[in-house]
Amino acid sequence: MTMYATVDSPLGELLLVGEKATGTDGPVALASLSLPGQKGAAVVQDGWVHAPEAFAGIAAQLREYFEGRLTRFDVVYADGLGTDFQRRVWAALDTVPYGETVSYGQIAERIGTPGAGVRAVGTAIGRNPLLVVRPCHRVIGADGALRGYAGGLERKEQLLGLEGALAVR
């Protein structure tokens, strides 16, 4: 069953979408976290169940993150998201610590696809369905410049400023 909830944040209203296996008491598995106006953002579909209580734990973590009190998320991700390559890239994103940045080339090296693989890494990062909790905002250009972010460069800058990885203008 697909469930959703919205959470207010400094970035705007976040849409959380997840799955919970019928008859389980475990946490909801997060399939998407999107921002208003985001390229490729999830849109609530007919048949989805509005279930804010199912996302209470994730919502609490997001509030703590935006208050500067949480540096690492503990979230169950939905199975089957992305291709094998995308999952390798996304797993590498999960290793980038709070308050630090890496380049697209460094992510490509971490997964064993340097050189021409950088463009493919950038594409996979751009398809990350779990903004904020999977820290694609921590990936910047080799020259230190902010490069694409599905939620917009202003939000990327805001997140990096929150984490102390970038001076907010």
Q: According to the model, what pLDDT value does residue 23 have?
A: 61
From the candidates 136, 160, 162, 165, which is the catalytic residue? 136
What Å distances lie between residue 150 and 35, 67, 155, CA to CA? 9, 23, 9
CA dihedral sign of residues 162, 12, 35, 78: positive
* Alpha carbons 164 and 130: distance in angstroms, whole number: 21
| 83 assigned to active site | no
Give, for all 169 residues of the chain, the pLDDT tens digit.
999 999 999 999 999 999 985 566 777 999 999 998 898 889 999 999 999 999 999 999 999 999 999 999 999 999 889 999 999 999 999 999 999 999 999 999 999 988 778 999 999 999 999 999 999 999 999 999 998 899 999 999 999 999 999 854 4
Q: According to the model, what pLDDT value does residue 169 have?
A: 45
